[in-house]
């Protein structure tokens, strides 16, 4: 693609969906390894129960990638054309998506004790980079005129606000995590809920924007 050339988004979205699918698949590797890694004479039931951190980490990782995919689809709901810059920005976001299985594995190996704080902060840094990537992606497509506000003006106006707030909220979560892990996890859960339903919360934020203008 030549610099400055504007084309459709079909190939970008196809590549993105492929990366999301692969990242989700990689998450299952640790689960399969956990259920197969039994020692001679070990009770299978006990082994499966003791592997709960792997299952929990898999669920967290799966939800993280799924929520990212939902938001990626929400952004591209408005994008009508692309350029070379969008290809690179989207590619950098996909690099973050592809690495999610790594902090997920760290979280599975350190479900408690001293290692939990470090594992949580590593996962939190992934969250922060992901929040920045969505904020940056949205700013790019909106400022470059690649997104069509007319598709849904109210949610279009609101989505910029929720992505900006997500960055600030994630920074606050990281700060809390250095002091206490569990309140930070609660805060991240709240952000998860917002990101899981971006259209609905963007609509709420958009109506607030409309009332203040």
* Of 102, 84, 89, 82, nearest in space to 27 by CA: 102
Instruction: Output the CA–CA distances (angstroms, integers) from residue 115 to 106, 171, 183, in the order listed.
Output: 9, 21, 17
At residue 4, the pLDDT reads 44
At residue 1, the pLDDT reads 43
- HSE-up of 72 (CA within 13 Å, CB side)? 27
- Could you say which DSSP state residue 7 is in? B
Indicate if the pLDDT at residue 92 is higher than 90: yes
Domain membership of residue 2 (yes or no) is no
Neighbours of 209 (CB within 10 A): 15
Domain membership of residue 113 (yes or no) is yes
Domain count of the fold of the chain: 1
68 — alpha (psi -120 to 50), left (phi > 0) or beta? alpha
Tens of pLDDT, residue by residue over 159-184, are 988 998 889 999 999 999 888 888 98
Among 6-10, 52-56, 198-202, name the one with the lowest average pLDDT. 6-10
Domain membership of residue 142 (yes or no) is yes
Tens of pLDDT, residue by residue over 31-83, are 888 777 666 666 777 777 888 888 888 898 899 999 999 999 999 999 999 99
Residue 191 lies in domain: 10-212
Tens of pLDDT, residue by residue over 107-153, are 888 877 778 888 889 988 998 999 999 999 999 999 999 999 999 98
Domain membership of residue 4 (yes or no) is no
Domain membership of residue 35 (yes or no) is yes
pTM of the model: 0.86
Domain membership of residue 197 (yes or no) is yes
Domain membership of residue 5 (yes or no) is no
Q: List all residues 6 or more positions away from 67 whose beta carbon is below 8 Å from its beta carbon.
A: 192, 195, 196
């Amino acid at each position: 693609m030549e610099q400055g050339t504007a084309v459709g988004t079909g190939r970008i979205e196809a590549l993105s969906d492929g990366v999301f699918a692969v990242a989700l698949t990689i998450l299952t590797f640790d689960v399969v390894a956990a259920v197969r890694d039994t020692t001679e004479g070990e009770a299978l039931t006990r082994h499966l129960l003791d592997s709960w951190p792997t299952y929990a980490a898999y669920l967290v990782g799966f939800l993280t990638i799924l929520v990212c995919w939902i938001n990626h689809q929400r952004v591209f709901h408005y994008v009508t054309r692309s350029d070379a810059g969008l290809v690179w920005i989207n590619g950098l976001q996909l690099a973050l998506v592809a690495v999610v299985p790594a902090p997920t594995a760290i979280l599975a190996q350190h479900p408690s004790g001293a290692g939990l704080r470090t594992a949580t902060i590593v996962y939190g840094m992934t969250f922060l980079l992901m929040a920045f990537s969505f904020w940056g992606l949205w700013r790019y497509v909106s400022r470059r005129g690649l997104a069509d506000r007319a598709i849904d003006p109210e949610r279009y106006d609101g989505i910029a606000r929720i992505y900006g707030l997500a960055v600030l909220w994630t920074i606050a979560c990281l700060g809390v995590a250095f002091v206490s892990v569990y309140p930070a996890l609660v805060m991240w859960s709240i952000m998860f809920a917002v990101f899981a339903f971006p259209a609905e919360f963007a609509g709420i934020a958009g109506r607030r924007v409309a009332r203040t203008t």
